[in-house]
């Protein structure tokens, strides 16, 4: 499994890209993560994570249309690549296997 090079923040950013596609860009991703986690998420941190994910081949980006709200500037939109999708599936499978192993313990010890 290649997951060793995917950090926790990168994982949630990658999940957000998948959930928000085709309109996934740094500001929208940061807002979505803040809403989901209740923690402040800077667009700079999201942007850095997106760059790392693109370097690893987990996301692809393209420039969207210019908008008047942005002064005619274009947004960099992100989508999950095939490799990124595979990584997400691997991560989910690992987490599900581990949860299945600890659920009986949790129910007994944390009740």
Domain ranges within the chain, ordered by starting residue = 3-109
Torsions phi, psi of 83, nearest 5? -60, -40
> What are 84's two structure tokens?
């990124």
Residue for token pair 């700079």:
44
User: Does the domain spanning 3-109 belong to CATH 1.10.760.10?
Assistant: no
- Per-residue model confidence as pLDDT tens digits over 4-53: 588 999 999 999 999 999 999 999 999 999 999 999 999 999 999 999 99
Q: What is the pTM of this model?
A: 0.86
For residue 62, the cross-strand partners are: 77
For the stretch 49-69, pLDDT in tens is: 999 999 999 999 999 887 777
Of residues 90, 89, 77, 11, the one with CA closest to residue 49: 11
Give percent helix, percent strand, percent coil of the chain, each to the nearest 5.
65, 15, 20
């Amino acid at each position: 499994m290649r997951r060793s090079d995917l950090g926790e923040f990168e994982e949630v950013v990658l999940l957000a890209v998948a959930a928000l596609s085709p309109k996934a860009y740094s500001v929208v991703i940061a807002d979505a993560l803040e809403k989901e986690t209740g923690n402040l998420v800077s667009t700079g941190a999201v942007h850095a994570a997106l760059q790392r994910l693109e370097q690893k081949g987990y996301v692809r980006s393209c420039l969207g249309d210019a908008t008047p709200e942005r002064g005619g500037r274009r947004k960099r939109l992100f989508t999950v690549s095939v490799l990124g999708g595979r990584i997400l599936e691997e991560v989910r499978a690992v987490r599900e296997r581990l949860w299945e192993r600890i659920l009986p313990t949790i129910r007994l010890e944390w009740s």
